[in-house]
Homo-oligomer: A and B are copies of this chain.
Amino acid sequence: MFGSNRRRLFIVSLLFGIAAPLCAVPFGVAVKAAAPDGKAPKVEFSEEGKLKQPVGFRKWVYIGTPLTPNDLNNGEAPFPEFHSVYMDPDSFALYEQTGKYPDGTVLVKELIAVGDREATSGKGYFMGDFIGLEVSIKDKQRFADEPGNWAYFSFGHKYPLKTEVAKNLTASCNKCHQDNANEFVFDKYYPVLRAAAPKTK
């Protein structure tokens, strides 16, 4: 119908030439959303290996909020005061399947000062302002020498936060997580994690 093989070849090339650019962007979006491979740049590091302040984590999966008010900790809690904790969505999706923290897991702990102590809903603790940010990352290549391959970072407990930081000493954070948490994560205090783990865990 197209007269010659040469013409047929030209038409096929044309079809792909038009179809490919049309689909490239949406396919890229769909693949990224539907098939996480754990390799997306959830966080970024500087050339010197420092962790840059993460962005966008307030839209990650929230897993829980411990509260250690300063006034219950001699005026200076180790982590003041509300600790809202988020997990990157790709790793959370894998956690739902396995109950394990996959390589590449990023947890962000945002620290928030206690604001009001009473509201129309009763007496208690109400969130005030953001004051700090901490991050833990499981990465068997980058943190091959850390127990469990987890590294811990603190951007400070007072604004303005640091823009990039080196990992904390193993003894500063990792040791406590290794000794007291479940696979380095205090899931005991994160009901969302406990509920999301497979029942067979």
Chain A interface residues toward B at CB < 8 A: 3, 11, 14-15, 18-19, 22-23, 25-27, 29-30, 33-34, 58-59, 61-62, 64-69, 72-73, 77-79, 81-84, 86, 89, 92, 112, 115-116, 119-130, 176, 180, 186, 188-192, 195-196
Contacts and interface: CB of A to CB of B under 8 A. Distances in A.
A120 B176 contact: yes
Contacts of A73: 122-124
A127 B29 contact: no
Contacts of A66: 119, 121, 124-127
A161 to B, nearest CB: 13
Contact of A89 (B3, B59, B129): B59
Number of copies: 2
Given A3-B3, A68-B121, A191-B112, A61 B59 contact: yes
A35 to B, nearest CB: 12
B130 A191 contact: yes
Contacts of A196: 58
A73 B118 CA distance: 10
A65 B78 contact: no
A93 B128 CA distance: 23
B195 A124 contact: no
A194 to B, nearest CB: 9
Given A58-B61, A122-B72, A124-B69, A189 B116 contact: yes
A189 B33 contact: no
Sort A-B residue pairs by CB-CB distance and give the 8 closest, nearest first: A62-B62, A26-B26, A68-B124, A68-B122, A26-B30, A65-B65, A72-B123, A73-B122
A130 B69 CA distance: 22
Contacts of A81: 124
Considering residues A3, A77, A122, which has the most beta carbons from chain B within 10 angstroms of its beta carbon? A122
A180 B33 CA distance: 40
